[in-house]
Amino acid sequence: MKKVLSIVFILLIFFGPSYASFKDSLKQHLEKNNIEDGSTQIYLLNRCSAVYTYASAILLETDKLNSKNFIEISNNLLFKAIELMIIEEKEKKLEQAQKNAEDIRKKMFDEYIIEGKKNWEKNKSHFKGSFISEDMLICSNLVEGED
């Protein structure tokens, strides 16, 4: 029973209100949720990992060096999300946390692709004029704060 409740709790954290609000900018999401809460921090790390993966994919053909740098940043953020999942959810094993974080990043990355395409059709930019640029700014501040 305890295991079932843990699974339900995890699903609610990652696919409940947090995931449903993906179309909000990250700034809006953080304004609605307590940054001190572990689930909010995990969401932030996962979402930043996804936006850096998206930026890496966009730059892959035109700027391989920055694309590589962005994917490294993305992977570092994902690793931090995994570490925090293990700390927050005592029963979670490394393999479970890693699979969960990778699945979440993939879903968020797919959402960024959809939104980026819509934005491209509107103004010929993947980032400008969309919440994606706002997310990137927040995430870049997070990454700079780590140095």
Whether pTM > 0.85 for this model: the answer is no
Domain count, the chain: 1
CA dist 78 and 102 (Å) reads: 8
Q: Which of 31, 69, 54, 74 shows the shortest CA–CA distance to 120?
A: 54
Q: Residue 137 sits in which domain range?
A: 2-146
**Contact between 53 and 70 (Cβ < 8 Å):** yes
Q: Which residues contact 104 (CB under 8 A, 6 or more apart)?
A: 14, 19, 46, 50, 81
pLDDT tens track, the chain, 147 positions: 333 333 333 333 333 334 445 667 899 999 999 999 999 999 999 999 999 999 999 999 899 999 999 999 999 999 999 999 999 988 778 999 999 999 999 999 999 999 999 989 999 988 888 899 999 999 999 999 765
d(C-alpha 21, C-alpha 48), whole Å:
15
